[in-house]
């Protein structure tokens, strides 16, 4: 018996030549954005050093730009932006909840350990 | 690309059965679930790296100082090589997404063309990483130095500048293969190899080197240029290290004093799992583990890409009526790129 409850291929498999052109234009645009961001990061990294008092701003900028790059890769290259909302959130929400918690707990603990060593020596 | 007709479905239809509420096939959903778990693995590794970096008391290495070389061109190009690697991986991600796009148009030739480009990009990245590892393991000609006198006694400095080539060794005490007065002439690289080994084993003392055959020799070398010792002390706020630099004659005196002390470990060259010239030992360990684990992902990605490419070439997916397999490997390949973006930031930039 042929099963009709299995979806073999769902997100539309095909698009026309014309839609393809539009898609490709978007791909090249994102490529340019990613390249420019990376070049910018390297330039800033080479110019501003870690002993600079404004380093924390640069650091935050780097992390922000990284998240921006990651966003482009996941939403455009991996097409997650085109998937149905329920899938998007099933992937992103649990991940972010867990990873933000992990970063928070690990860095808080690390700072405490650092201070303990600094205070009581080792 | 977009699921035009199928994206907006009312809840009753979506969840009423006989259809995927996610509007994706089983295989693709599972690929996404796998990627989430893999992303958690890499997230865990990078958080562990951050944890270690925040707890450690000694100053952490700075990316643009550690990675400032290009093949054939030498030093002085901070982060250029890693940026190039990043660019290669981004480009191969782009060719992959173009292969997927060609698949949507059932353009078999297009899929093949872009998949070959992707595979080549993958090999380029792996080759680059091999060079990077080799460079990291071998380290610089100076290594890092433990300062043995003066106000910075006990601190370790990384050394920048140009190492004067070794010219020859002159034997002053006979060993198994050499007699007194022998002049050993080899290429500067070969001589340096002996020198490095001897320094690491504590067999260089007071201007004399004990060679592996037991003979003792003096060496002749060109002058070092632009030597600079960089001492980093851990500042408050962890990564904000205080940096002290020693230049010129003073730097050379301090450096060679340590080399000639005959103290094992006074000079550390390159990196292994125990120690490295760049900073705390954990730095090297995390470097090997994280970039190695990522490199392993790239390698398996290339293998999977090749297998799927063969499927495309054989026409398997064309007959099936869609190129979803290309899309699924594409997801994995983009994920590898995604991970690299984070490794690039947290390992090299900040």
Q: What average pLDDT does the structure give for chain A?
A: 86
Torsion, Cα of B113, B116, B118, B123 (10° steps) = -160
Torsion, Cα of B321, B322, B325, B331 (10° steps) = 180
List residues bridging with B216 in a β-sheet.
B173, B210
| Residue B341, min C-alpha distance to chain A (Å) | 7
Q: Do B342 and A66 touch (CB under 8 A)?
A: yes
The ipTM assigned to this model is: 0.89
Q: Which residues of A touch B62 (CB under 8 A)?
A: 49-50
Q: Which residues of B touch A71 (CB under 8 A)?
A: none
Residue B145 neighbours by CB under 8 Å, 6+ apart: B156, B157, B159, B229, B254, B255, B258, B259, B266, B267
B318-344 pLDDT, tens per residue? 988 889 999 999 999 999 999 999 999
pLDDT at A3 over 70: no
- Distance in angstroms (rounded) separating the CA atoms of residues A94 and A102: 12
Which residues between 5 and 64 in chain A have a beta carbon less than 8 angstroms from any beta carbon of chain B?
5-17, 19-20, 23-24, 27-28, 30-31, 34-35, 38-39, 41-42, 45-46, 49-51, 53, 55-56, 59, 62-63
- Alpha carbon B34 to chain centroid distance? 26
- B40 falls in which pLDDT band (50, 70, 90)? very high
**Closest-CA residue of chain A to B86:** A38
Listed residue (B154, B151, B184) closest to B169, CA to CA: B184
| DSSP-derived 3-state class of residue B59 | coil
| Residue A52, min C-alpha distance to chain B (Å) | 8
Contact (Cβ atoms closer than 8 angstroms) between residue B201 and residue B268? no
pTM beyond 0.90, yes or no: no
Using a CB–CB cutoff of 8 Å, tell me whether A68 touches chain B: no
């Amino acid at each position: 018996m042929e099963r009709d409850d299995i979806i073999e291929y769902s997100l539309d498999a095909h698009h026309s030549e014309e839609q393809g052109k539009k898609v490709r234009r978007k791909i090249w645009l994102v490529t340019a954005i990613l390249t420019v961001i990376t070049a910018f990061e390297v330039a800033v990294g080479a110019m501003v050093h870690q002993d600079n008092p404004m380093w924390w701003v640069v650091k935050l900028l780097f992390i922000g730009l990284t998240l921006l790059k990651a966003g482009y890769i996941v939403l455009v290259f991996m097409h997650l932006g085109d998937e149905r909302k329920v899938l998007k959130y099933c992937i992103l929400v649990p991940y972010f909840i867990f990873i933000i918690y992990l970063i928070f707990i690990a860095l808080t603990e690390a700072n405490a350990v650092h201070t303990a060593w600094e205070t009581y020596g080792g | 690309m977009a699921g035009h007709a199928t994206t907006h479905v009312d809840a009753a239809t979506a969840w009423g059965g006989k259809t995927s509420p996610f509007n994706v096939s089983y295989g693709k959903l599972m690929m996404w679930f796998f990627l989430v778990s893999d992303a958690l693995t890499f997230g865990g590794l990078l958080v562990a790296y951050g944890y270690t970096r925040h707890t450690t008391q000694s100053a952490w290495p700075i990316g643009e100082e550690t990675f400032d070389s290009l093949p054939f061109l030498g030093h002085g190009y901070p982060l250029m090589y890693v940026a190039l690697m990043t660019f290669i991986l981004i480009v191969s991600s782009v060719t992959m997404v173009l292969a997927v796009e060609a698949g949507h148009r059932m353009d078999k030739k297009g899929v093949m063309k872009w998949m070959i480009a992707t595979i080549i990009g993958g090999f380029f990245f792996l080759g680059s990483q091999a060079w990077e590892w080799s460079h990291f393991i071998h380290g610089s000609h100076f290594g890092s130095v433990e300062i043995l006198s003066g106000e910075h006694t006990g601190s370790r400095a990384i050394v920048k500048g140009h190492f004067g080539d070794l010219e020859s060794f002159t034997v002053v005490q006979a060993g198994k293969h050499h007699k007194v007065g022998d002049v050993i002439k080899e290429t500067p690289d070969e001589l340096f190899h002996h020198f490095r080994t001897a320094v690491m084993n504590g067999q260089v003392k007071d201007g004399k080197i004990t060679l592996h055959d037991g003979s003792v020799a003096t060496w002749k070398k060109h002058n070092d240029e632009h030597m600079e010792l960089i001492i980093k002390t851990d500042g408050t706020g962890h990564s904000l290290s205080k940096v002290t630099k020693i230049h010129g004659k003073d730097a050379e005196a301090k450096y060679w004093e340590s080399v000639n002390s005959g103290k094992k470990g006074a000079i550390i060259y390159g990196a292994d799992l125990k120690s490295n010239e760049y900073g705390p030992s954990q730095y090297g360990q995390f470097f090997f583990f994280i970039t190695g684990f990522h490199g392993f992902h790239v390698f398996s990605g290339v293998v999977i890409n090749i297998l799927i490419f063969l499927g495309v070439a054989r026409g398997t997916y064309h007959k099936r009526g869609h190129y979803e397999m290309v899309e699924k490997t594409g997801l994995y390949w983009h994920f590898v790129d995604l991970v690299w973006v984070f490794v690039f930031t947290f390992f090299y930039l900040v």
